[in-house]
Structure 1
Amino acid sequence: MALKKSDLYSSLWRSCDELRGGMDASQYKDYILTLLFVKYVTDKSKSDPNSLIDVPVGGSFDDMVSLKGDKEIGDRINKIIGKLAEANGLEKVIDLADFNDEEKLGKGKEMQDRLSKLVTIFADLDFRGSRAEGDDLLGDAYEYLMRHFATESGKSKGQFYTPAEVSRVLAKIVGIRADTRQDHTVYDPTCGSGSLLLKVVDEAPRGLTIYGQEKDNATWALAQMNMILHGYEDRDIRKGDTITSPQFTQGSRLQTFDFAVANPPFSTKSWRNGLENDYGRFDFGWPPEKNGDYAFLLHILKSLKSNGKAAVILPHGVLFRSHAEANIRKELLRRGYVKGIVGLPANLFYGTGIPACIIVLDKENAQARTGVFMIDASKGFIKDGNKNRLRSQDIHKIVDVFNKQIEIEHYSRMVPFHEIDDPKNDYNLNIPRYIDSSETEDIQDLHAHLHGGIPDRDLDALNGYWEAFPSLRATLFKPNRRGYSDLAVVVAEVHQAVLESDEFQKFAMDVRGRVDDWFAVHRPVLQALNPDTVPKDLIACIGDDLLARFKNTPLLDEYDVYEQLMTYWHGVMHDDVFLIMNDGWCEAAKPRKTIEDRERKLSETPDLVIGSGRSATKYKMDLIPPALIVARYLADDQTKADELHAAADKASRAVEEYIEEHTVEDGLLAEAMDSGKISKVLASTRLKVARHERTDLEEIKALQCLVKLYNEESVAKKVAKEAQAGLDLATLKRYGDLTEPEIKQLVLDDKWHATVTGRVASETESLTLALVSRIQQLGERYAMTVEDLVTDLAKLESLVAGHLADMGVA
């Protein structure tokens, strides 16, 4: 069975659990990533004889496996890693973590057990099928770990990682195109773990030459491992402080590059410490002594070739802060170097919760530039734990809008220089000055509150709906007086009226038809999945096509539709594709027994259980859920089983209702209830005693009836259980009879197509709910006039006065 992404993630995070007690995430990440590296290069050397990493005898992960239970396991792992490092010139890169550190890993047996379990978890992973140039399972795993390490490390130590979603945005808007030559260079002066550089290179079909610099020694080592894991052994990643000791120089000048990306530390206060040579970086002005944001931006600008391009993440303050920074900003704008600005949501980054922006620099044709393209993407995100995260739709929208320079009201516009240098703005680039993204205020209409009716201006604001459903407004509303309307249906019936309208039903059918047409086009490609398929290219192709098909659909946001597909892809479909690629359709569809391993804290939830008790056999169906088998081949059996379950539930309710009815005070079974809940055993025992004593014939009859109901319930439950067991057995057997065409039909049509169709349909349903909610809100808001309220108040006052008079109160 191929290693799925979700299985890999859970295995890696269990490995973290083994270390979490002895150290914090900023420390144990070095151990986990080192083992991940050794395991990967060991597996790759077995499947790729041309691997550039030499795995020497005594320096492989297999040598670590042989140490499980060894009393000197920590010291011997260090030696194995040392041999691997020495063979490849990776000293001080992969050998920084000390696996014999008693303070972190425990002493004696504790260290022995902990490291043995850790090695066992990694031994179960198989990276021989992982291809850095195709479906980057390993890269995904590395990214997953880095994100979690950054989350757990907190503000002080989480800056080594740029969220992958933000990295993708930078990579896609920095200016790389399909025809970008392989000899072009990309540079990150604050490269951290290297993830941002890798995302950029991933956008270049022909590849790029990688350069980077990182100040922190441990993080520099992470970057080196990350590059090797992704197959970029020829990268050039150097150590040192970029501002005070730039490593890429040519005499008294900085080396220049075609592209640059960076996520520098925000607002560094000590950036000048040790600065001796400015390399001409600050010709436009010196940044404030206690704020280094512009120092990094100017360094990057100076490191670009005459037609170079860069994308840099900086805090919003760089857009509007005054004094020295304002002067630098003015010089950059006057020369046309600033191509665009993207405002990002707050709380995306691990080192800080403040909102940041992306500054896009472009020296090519800078003098001809007439404006700055701005995007306010601050509201496009999803909550993810205690952080915010860009969704697939947010990334795609930012990239589309920026690269095509599309102006969208409240979201993006090209701001001309004459507006920026206007005295009222004075080169202040704060995005809200140029893009108003605030929500439209919901204004209360006093005239409507006084005289009734819903203001037509509130209905006009729903014009998108009336354009999509031209006759619906006339169905829902009728004229009241000039400028005001009344609901033509009661508030409670608005939803049904919308759903039953011919135009809405036609709209829903059109949406479904677009999904059907989209899937029909791509079905042959999905049906032909094989080991050479590149999943990231596959989802890019089908995702972009789905987005394009909904581009001009009224009401529906094409990016919301796209997100439905991408959420399903990341949650389910990617694993399915990976299984099929590696195992083939038939093998991937086979049921397998669940993994139960208490020692390794691993237990899978079964999809199907055959038998009961200790003899039960539990199965996992990775590709085809049992419900799909039942729905297509065993629907009649399922219907019968459902009927029997319903009958059993009915019998149980009859017992509960009878007990409830007769155990009230003075009820026929009240006395029996004093002994506790009346179970079947208690009722039978009580009946024997009552018959023997012959004290109360009515109680005897009631107990006889209850015992009868309990017996009927037992029979009904037994029959339902047997029917379900028979259905489960038939389902398991049906898996063994499936042909490859049947498997493809189940996966392609019943699973993927049906799920995406349902998800997109939910977007249509959300539209109706939003419309109905607004109409109901307006209907209820203006349902009663002030006159109605005064009348009601008078009635209540009269009623209260009457009650007071009856009580003799004047």
Structure 2
Amino acid sequence: MSRLEQQLWASADILRGKMDASEYKNYLLGLVFYKYLSDLELRAVYEEANGKPDEYPSRDIQFAELTEWYSDDAEELKNTMRRKLGYFIEPQYLFYMLRNKASQYEFQIDDLQTAFIELSRQGENFISLFDDVDLNSTKLGSHAQQKSTTIMEVIKTLDEIDLFGHEGDVIGDAYEYLIAQFAAGAGKKAGEFYTPQAVSKIISEIVSIGQEKLAPFHIYDPTMGSGSLMLNIRQFLSNPEKVYFHGQELNTTTYNLARMNLILHNVDREQMRLNNGDTLDADWPTDEPFLFNAVVMNPPYSANWSASEKFLSDPRFERYGKLAPKSKADFAFLLHGYYHLKDSGTMGIVLPHGVLFRGAAEGVIRRVLLEMGAIEAVIGLPTNIFYGTSIPTVVLILKKNRVSRDVLFIDASKDYEKQKNQNTLRQRDILKIVDTYKKRESIFKYAHLANFDEIVANDYNLNIPRYVDTFEEEEQIDIVALGREMADINLQIKKKETDFLALLDELAVTDETKEIIEATKRMFM
């Protein structure tokens, strides 16, 4: 664990005993986000006044620069920062000032509440963003002073973290680390907001193949969670600054988390279009653009949905003749995502293994997709790599207008590293999957390229063991050699017994030892 990660996780200790992970993540992630915006403003003001330095001075000096400009011409400073950052936090509400008040034990929880309200009024990106940071919760304390003390200690601890003092995408990495840690502690609730980085990388790299130089690049996640699945695409594109992120999320708390996450990853507000809504109940987006270069998804597994007959005339589902069952919306999510894929695009979706072989309506939908050539690859993942569920999962890769209807099957279920609570895909496991996908060739006991006739012969069942034989025969036992070995061992035991009895005969016999020696001899007769 890096120094940064240690500092981040230690800051959670104050709240960990008061509430579970699904609750305290809202406080800690919200405060980390607010600290980032505050510290970024201090640096931006210093840059405007002095140019970008090789090394930034202390925040004391940065704050002094800000207050001097604010005293001289507050309106000019506000307008400059709003053009540069899209917001302006008043000096008294900066995290720096809240920390100073906390150090002097003058902090009151109303100070933070007012700071959140003021920022929420500064444009669409910040509306309702801190609604889930419940500063009135009795879990923080039974009265206002106790609540103030709790949050004061959190602020003091978080302020020790230098979000800008490390190489790489520290802010993004720190945020992803915190999300992962909360996911580990949140159990089943974790699936609402986090896809493990290894799985995100596999999907991101695959859907970018052949599209690396596209600019602008539009990616869509209809069940975006924290947005982490979309964000990985940038590392595989030639123009990462020209990626446009489109995402929808039903859970309001998780939707706000995604908004914070994208801002923390330096996504410009003009390049994100996020919506808080039900992906299946009403199609979104319906205005341009509504087709995308890449669609990525990790929807809730086998979720309930209405499956109303009205959806049979919905353009997302009508061509398949059947709807996903009410108790298993897996194919409903898949068809929604596929509908929004460009003809030249690629889609990657994580689903439970049941979609490969379940019959009835799902079997009909799967058959239509295969007859269209929509399913390009089936990648079986190890068990227990997702937070909150140990079930094995599969990544389906889909495309439109393919010439062939073959399907590449990859069984990656045995390639992982076992850790304390979760299994994890190593870098070499990720590279093996992606390399196999690119080569699109059969590999003994790992991958198989099945033609359409083979799939038809299997009655459109895509269960991976039907195509990739990973069975290991047990080593043949040589009965004759085993018998000889056992006979030899018995002879050796007999010799040892004889030697031992001879030693007993050589012992000096007394009245005290005679009975013991005789009893020992009887054991070997």
TM over 0.5: yes
1:18 match: 14
Deviates more, 1:270-279 or 1:63-72: 270-279
1:102 match: 138
Cα deviation 1:549-608 (Å, max 9, x = unaligned) = xxxxxxxxxxxxxxxxxxxxxxxxxxxxxxxxxxxxxxxxxxxxxxxxxxxxxxxxxxxx
| Residues 1:117 and 2:153 aligned together | yes
| Residues 1:269 and 2:269 aligned together | no
| Residues 1:7 and 2:19 aligned together | no
Cα deviation 1:408-453 (Å, max 9, x = unaligned) = 211112122221111xx211111111112233422211132245xx
| Residues 1:163 and 2:196 aligned together | yes
1:682 match: none
The amino acid across from 1:135 in the alignment is G
| Residues 1:74 and 2:109 aligned together | yes
The amino acid across from 2:87 in the alignment is D
Gap change, CA 1:110 and 1:296, over 3 Å in 2: same
Question: Equivalents in 2 of 1:805, 1:35: separation in Å?
Answer: 75
2:171 match: 138
2:294 match: 259
Question: Equivalents in 1 of 2:109, 2:430: separation in Å?
Answer: 44
Does the residue aligned with 1:421 lie in a helix, a strand or coil? helix
Does the residue aligned with 1:213 lie in a helix, a strand or coil? strand
1:378 match: 413
Gap change, CA 1:805 and 1:341, over 3 Å in 2: closer
| Residues 1:149 and 2:145 aligned together | no
Question: Which residue among 389, 392, 398 is the counterpart of 1:355?
Answer: 392
- The unaligned stretches of length 5 or more in structure 2 are 49-82, 503-517
Question: Equivalents in 1 of 2:520, 2:273: separation in Å?
Answer: 95
The amino acid across from 1:192 in the alignment is G
* Contact 2:207 2:345 (8 Å CA) reproduced: no
Percent identity of equivalent pairs: 35
* Contact 1:43 1:126 (8 Å CA) reproduced: no
Matches within 5 A, 1:789-800: 789=489, 791=491
The amino acid across from 2:370 in the alignment is L
Cα deviation 1:85-141 (Å, max 9, x = unaligned) = 2124312113431234333345344323322221112222223456xxx82111111
* Contact 1:257 1:305 (8 Å CA) reproduced: yes
Cα deviation 1:491-512 (Å, max 9, x = unaligned) = xxxxxxxxxxxxxxxxxxxxxx
Matches within 5 A, 1:47-446: 47-48=43-44, 49=48, 51-57=84-90, 58-68=92-102, 70=105, 73-89=108-124, 90-129=126-165, 135-177=168-210, 179-207=212-240, 208-232=243-267, 233-234=269-270, 235-250=272-287, 255-272=290-307, 278-284=314-320, 285-363=322-400, 365-366=401-402, 368-422=403-457, 425-446=458-479
Task: Name segments (4+ residues, structure 1) moved above 4 Å.
Answer: 69-72, 273-277, 789-807
The amino acid across from 1:257 in the alignment is F
The amino acid across from 2:389 in the alignment is T
Does the residue aligned with 2:423 lie in a helix, a strand or coil? strand
* Contact 1:315 1:356 (8 Å CA) reproduced: yes
Q: How far 1:804 sits from its partner (Å)?
A: 9.7
* Contact 1:343 1:375 (8 Å CA) reproduced: yes
Q: How far 1:66 sits from its partner (Å)?
A: 3.1
Gap change, CA 1:176 and 1:84, over 3 Å in 2: farther
- The unaligned stretches of length 5 or more in structure 1 are 452-783
The amino acid across from 1:411 in the alignment is Y
Q: How far 1:181 sits from its partner (Å)?
A: 1.6
Gap change, CA 1:108 and 1:286, over 3 Å in 2: closer
Q: How far 1:177 sits from its partner (Å)?
A: 4.4
Matches within 5 A, 1:313-712: 313-363=350-400, 365-366=401-402, 368-422=403-457, 425-450=458-483
* Contact 1:63 1:80 (8 Å CA) reproduced: no
2:54 match: none
Q: How far 1:379 sits from its partner (Å)?
A: 1.1
Question: Equivalents in 2 of 1:257, 1:41: separation in Å?
Answer: 31
* Contact 2:8 2:161 (8 Å CA) reproduced: no
The amino acid across from 1:236 in the alignment is R
| Root mean square deviation, CA, Å | 2.9
Gap change, CA 1:9 and 1:274, over 3 Å in 2: farther
Question: Equivalents in 2 of 1:102, 1:274: separation in Å?
Answer: 45
* Contact 1:22 1:105 (8 Å CA) reproduced: no
Structure ID, larger Rg: 1
The amino acid across from 1:65 in the alignment is R
Could you state the TM-score of these two structures normalised by the residue count of structure 1? 0.54
Cα deviation 1:277-297 (Å, max 9, x = unaligned) = 633424212112221111111
2:36 match: 40
The amino acid across from 1:23 in the alignment is M
* Contact 1:18 1:118 (8 Å CA) reproduced: yes
* Contact 1:287 1:325 (8 Å CA) reproduced: yes
Q: How far 1:267 sits from its partner (Å)?
A: 0.3
The amino acid across from 1:343 in the alignment is G
Question: Equivalents in 1 of 2:415, 2:465: separation in Å?
Answer: 16
Q: How far 1:789 sits from its partner (Å)?
A: 4.8
| Residues 1:30 and 2:26 aligned together | yes
The amino acid across from 2:99 in the alignment is V
1:788 match: 488
Gap change, CA 1:216 and 1:274, over 3 Å in 2: farther
Q: How far 1:29 sits from its partner (Å)?
A: 0.8
* Contact 2:378 2:409 (8 Å CA) reproduced: yes
Question: Equivalents in 2 of 1:94, 1:177: separation in Å?
Answer: 39
Does the residue aligned with 1:37 lie in a helix, a strand or coil? helix
Does the residue aligned with 1:174 lie in a helix, a strand or coil? helix
Question: Equivalents in 2 of 1:282, 1:154: separation in Å?
Answer: 36
* Contact 2:247 2:275 (8 Å CA) reproduced: yes
Does the residue aligned with 1:375 lie in a helix, a strand or coil? strand
* Contact 1:139 1:230 (8 Å CA) reproduced: yes
Q: How far 1:796 sits from its partner (Å)?
A: 8.4
* Contact 2:307 2:324 (8 Å CA) reproduced: no
The amino acid across from 1:439 in the alignment is E
* Contact 1:82 1:95 (8 Å CA) reproduced: no
Q: How far 1:356 sits from its partner (Å)?
A: 0.2
Matched residues, number:
463
Gap change, CA 1:447 and 1:108, over 3 Å in 2: same
